[in-house]
Amino acid sequence: MTLHKNILFIVGFLCFGFLFHFLSPSGQDSSPSAIASVPPAPESASTPLLVPPLYNEISGKINCGDTLSKSLRRYKIPESFHNEIIKSLKKSLDLRTLRPGDTFTARLDDNNGLVNFKYQRGPFESYTVSRENGIYQVTRDKVELEAEIIVLRGKIENSLFKVFLDQGESGKLVYDFADIFSAKIDFNTECRKGDKIEAVFEKYYKNDKFVGYGRILYGGYRQQFGNSIEGLYYSSTNTDGAYFAEDGQELGSSFIKSPLPVGRLTSKFSLHRNHPILHVVRPHLGIDLAAPIGTQIMAASDGKVVFAGYRGGFGRQVIIAHANGYKTYYAHLSRFKKGLKKGDRVKQKEIIGYVGSSGMSTGPHLDYRISLNGVFKNPLAIKFKPKSFLRGDELAAFQQQKEKFKEKIDLFESQQIIEVRQIVLDSEKDITKIL
């Protein structure tokens, strides 16, 4: 009996479900899952369909002997745009100085009209010609770089150069480091085995490729048997950027100690020297610094060129008059800086010529001399005052900054990245700093 009741109940339930399905409105399934699956109403026909514009890009490269016009034709960029591209670029770029390997890209719309033209000249120089309302204009593009801040430490075993080169850095960084101390240390005569160096500097990368050095932020030189000198780069609203020692004295002075940042002393200042060619005893009123032919020579201080020419046994020589009765003399040059002449004003560290062996000389070197009111002095013995001093609140702010900086870098080992940041160079002046 119970079995019959159960069978009747099941049959009744199935019949009820069957009738409910067909008797529901429009015969549609009213289950929640079915309702949720109903597709949304179609969008109005007036709704705009956003489709990105289509561009055709043509890229090319300047070959040896190319003009820009010739290269544009070779890559089949429509000739109707050639004149406007060239005329626009001329406003910012000397097209006579195009270099093999320079690249360009023309972007055209779907009607073959020019959208823009980009010219890339090395990692730091890029120009874009664009057309708006039929008017062409050119802009210099900003340069986006990644800057790594590096700590480098080392001990001199052979030379200052070798410390940097052994850690994978280039000669340019060595010269920049030596330049910080150019008024305090003569690396031609005062560099000794066992001396220690420390440098914190910027390295710039573009698309993961090294493109140049930025500023050295801190430099330290610790002589094994002498003084320790360190300088932190500091600038403020009241102070131009320069390197200062802990006591607030600027490392720079009115004269640098040597016109050659790195060289080798071969002859000292002497009143009785046996001349290597004439073989007679006579005064040598300067110092001789041996260096490869073509090594750049810097002006020791601001001044006016009073002689630039050939002068007997001195060969090609430059003489510069400075304030307070000083004169400096640079002899045996291979050549002068292009265009340098008597009457020119020069700045400290400005290149005035190049090492050579002209005149009475046994090999490439610089004969460097200083006179004061007509009396020659030993260039290595003269003491010059710092260019500037930090005082009061300025000194306190500098010392606080230096303390924080030292605490930070002391946590890191040599040749280690301590910081990475993104930078944008948006002026030619900024870009020149890293070339």
What is the per-residue pLDDT across 229-273, written as a single tens digit (0 to 9) for each?
A: 999 999 887 777 899 999 999 999 889 988 987 778 888 888 766
Query: Is 155's pLDDT higher than 60?
Result: yes
**32-71: b (≥16 Cβ within 10 Å) or e:** eeeeeeeeeeeeeeeeeeeeeeeeeeeebebeeebebeeb
The pLDDT of residue 123: 87
Q: Is 145-253+387-432 in the same CATH topology as 56-141?
A: yes
Q: Is 108 in contact with 78 (CB distance < 8 Å)?
A: yes
Q: Domain 56-141 is in which class?
A: alpha beta
Domain boundaries defined on the chain: 56-141, 145-253+387-432, 264-377
Check if CATH label 3.30.2010.30 holds for domain 145-253+387-432. no
pTM: 0.69
Q: Which has more confidence, 24 or 228?
A: 228
Q: What percent of the chain shows pLDDT beyond 90? A: 54
Smallest CA-to-CA distance from 181 within 142, 118, 133, 229 is with 229
Q: Domain 264-377 is in which class?
A: mainly beta
> What number is the average pLDDT over the span 315-344?
96
The pLDDT of residue 24: 46
The pLDDT of residue 431: 60
CB atoms within 10 A of CB 239: 15
Query: Is 386's pLDDT higher than 60?
Result: yes
> What number is the average pLDDT over the span 177-198?
88
Q: Is 128 in contact with 115 (CB distance < 8 Å)?
A: no
- Beta-strand ranges (E) seen in 100-241 are 103-108, 114-121, 125-132, 135-140, 143-155, 196-206, 209-222, 228-234
Find all residues with CB under 8 Å of 33, minimum gap 6, and list them: none
Q: Which has more confidence, 327 or 134?
A: 327
